[in-house]
Amino acid sequence: MKKTLVSLSLIAFFSMGVAAQADLTSDNYYNPLLTGVPSLSITPDATAGGMGDIGVSTLPDVSSQHWNSSKYALAESSAGIGLSYTPWLRKLVSDIDLAYLSGYYRNEKLGALSASLRYFSLGNVILKQTANDPGIGAKPYELAFDLGYSRQLAENFAMGVTMRFIASDLSIKDENYHTGYGFSADVNGFYLLPIDLSSGTSKLGIGFNLSNIGTKISYDQDNTRNFIPANLRLGATYYIPFDKYNRISVSAEANKLLVPTRKSKYAANFDANDQETWKLTDDEYNDISVMQGIFRSFNDAPSGGKEELKEIMWSLGLEYAYNEQFFARVGYCNESEDKGNRKFFTVGAGFKLSAFRFDLGYVIARAANSPLDNTLRFSLSFDVDGIRELADRK
């Protein structure tokens, strides 16, 4: 399929809903936070994708590496492996995809080791110098490889760290362009408290994840440098059993990008009535360090505290389970209209049979003509302990 190559920040923009026309003289204007390697923020698995993109405080599963790797240390199974696939932005193009492979191994004494591989393909692109140029084919992509370690520090509490290698190749082969490389780390924690009820044992999960804290990424030998999507995510989930076979879980989650805005009160000669001075120059933006960017992300919105609150994205999710084998999920995710307008409902379902589990997640966007509408996710996972039990039966 022929299409023009755009920057990955523009791909992130396409992931947002329809926004209102900017009005820089009021408190309401379109000012999203744009980053390099935006695919790092895309939900990779169908379980979380069916609950409004919630995963930091839910029970451990194979895909916990993306959400909160410390959950692996409290997993019931000793090992697992999973594969997820998402056809992305199908309302815009037909060949953008996200594939996610993850797995872990847990030892009660030594802790848990985990790994994941994320591959985001931008499909087949035709690169042209002029309108009449037949062009050459290219296959741009973004890739991230993770290694994590988590350990139980108390009876109900675990913490984890994850190291990440990032590669972003826009496939523009000339003397001014180079593949972008970066490194980042996650620090996270998970608290899981069992609570005895007359109907069974309920569970309260509380989690946090400070993710993608690392280098900037550059495609032109550091002449310009883009922030990767550093993020703070907080959430809580309560599991309520009705009887031996039926239970529900209720989840709430909030997250915020920890990157500075390009439209900033720190810009030189700031003038609220002049649109140009709302923007940081390239030099000003490049000179902001990663740690400065994290701290400034809490107080650099041009409209002050009201706009900072708009940068918090929140989600609600509900899951019903029968005998921990059949699952039904619904969720809602909300982002301010001025920060991207990603507002959508999700539904999902799952089925677990012994060592194997299959999940689906589906997005129903609220915003008109949203490219996220009808996004479908698939996940397949394998429980190593369950596979061993099947083998022993034979």
For residue range 121-148, list pLDDT tens digits in order.
Answer: 988 877 666 666 666 777 889 999 999 9
Q: With cut-offs at 50, 70 and 90, classify the pLDDT of residue 2.
A: very low
d(CA 152, CA 330): 31
CA-based nearest residue to 231, from 207, 217, 211: 211
Q: What number of H helices and E strands is found in the chain? A: 7, 16
Give the angle 148-151-156 at the CA atoms, nearest 5°: 130
* Residue 75 confidence class, pLDDT cut points 50, 70, 90: very high
Judge if pTM exceeds 0.85. yes
Q: Is residue 267 part of a domain?
A: yes
What does each C-alpha distance from 124 to 95, 121, 220, 275, 376 come to in angstroms? 7, 9, 23, 37, 21
Confidence grade of residue 4 (pLDDT, cut at 50, 70, 90) = very low
Instruction: Check pLDDT > 50 for residue 107.
Output: yes
76: left (phi over 0), alpha (psi -120 to 50) or beta: alpha
Nearest by Cα to 209 from 53, 100, 97, 359: 53
* 98 belongs to a structural domain: yes
Range of the domain at 258: 8-393
Cα(20)–Cα(340) distance, integer angstroms = 10
Match 């755009």 to its residue by tokens. 6
pLDDT of residue 191: 98
- For 282, what's the count of Cα atoms within 13 Å in the CB-facing half-sphere? 5
Residue 280: band (very low, low, confident or very high) from pLDDT cuts 50, 70, 90: confident
In a domain, 2, yes or no: no
Alpha-carbon span 90 to 86, nearest angstrom: 10
Nearest to 319 by CA among 37, 52, 7, 2: 52
Q: What average pLDDT does the structure give for the chain?
A: 87
pLDDT in tens, 31-53: 888 899 999 999 999 999 999 99
Average the pLDDT over 322-337 and give the result: 96
For residue 3, being part of any structural domain is answered with no
CB atoms inside a 10 Å sphere around CB 81 = 17
How far, in Å, CA of 181 to CA of 29, rounded?
33
What are the start-end ranges of the H helices in the chain?
8-14, 46-49, 64-67, 282-287, 290-296, 305-310, 384-393
Instruction: Identify whether 132 is part of a domain.
Output: yes
Spatial separation of the C-alpha atoms in residues 377 and 46, rounded to whole Å: 5
Q: Is the CB of residue 81 less than 8 Å from the CB of residue 102?
A: yes
Q: Is residue 1 part of a domain?
A: no
Domain of 356, CATH number, reads 2.40.160.40
Closest by CA position to 321, among listed 218, 241, 390 = 241
Residue 158 CB: number of other CB atoms within 10 A? Answer: 26
For residue 244, being part of any structural domain is answered with yes
Question: Residue 25 — very low, low, confident or very high, per pLDDT cuts 50/70/90?
Answer: very low
Which of 80-89, 131-140, 385-394 shows the highest mean pLDDT? 80-89
pLDDT the model gives residue 178: 81
Out of 21-30, 89-98, 131-140, 291-300, least confident range: 21-30
| DSSP-derived secondary structure for 26-93 | SS--------SSGGGGS---HHHHTTTS--SSSPP-TTHHHH-GGGGGG-SSSEEEEEEEEE--TTT-
CA–CA gap between residue 158 and residue 168 (Å, rounded):
32
* Tally of domains within the chain: 1
Over its C-alpha atoms, the chain yields an Rg (Å, rounded) of 22
Looking at residue 282, what is its pLDDT?
A: 79
pLDDT at residue 274, as a whole number:
62
Q: For the beta carbon of residue 225, count every other beta carbon within 10 angstroms.
A: 20
Query: How far apart are the C-alpha atoms of 135 and 173, rounded to whole Å?
Result: 13
Tokens matching residue 255: 């997250």
Write out the two tokens for 69. Answer: 């790797």
Residue 308 has pLDDT above 50, yes or no: yes
pLDDT in tens, 193-237: 999 999 899 999 999 999 999 999 998 877 888 999 999 999 999
- Percentage of the chain beyond pLDDT 90 is 62
| Residue 368 included in any domain | yes
Specify which residues 246 forms β-bridges with. Answer: 322
- Specify whether the CB–CB gap between 98 and 118 falls below 8 A: yes
Q: What is the pLDDT of residue 373?
A: 85
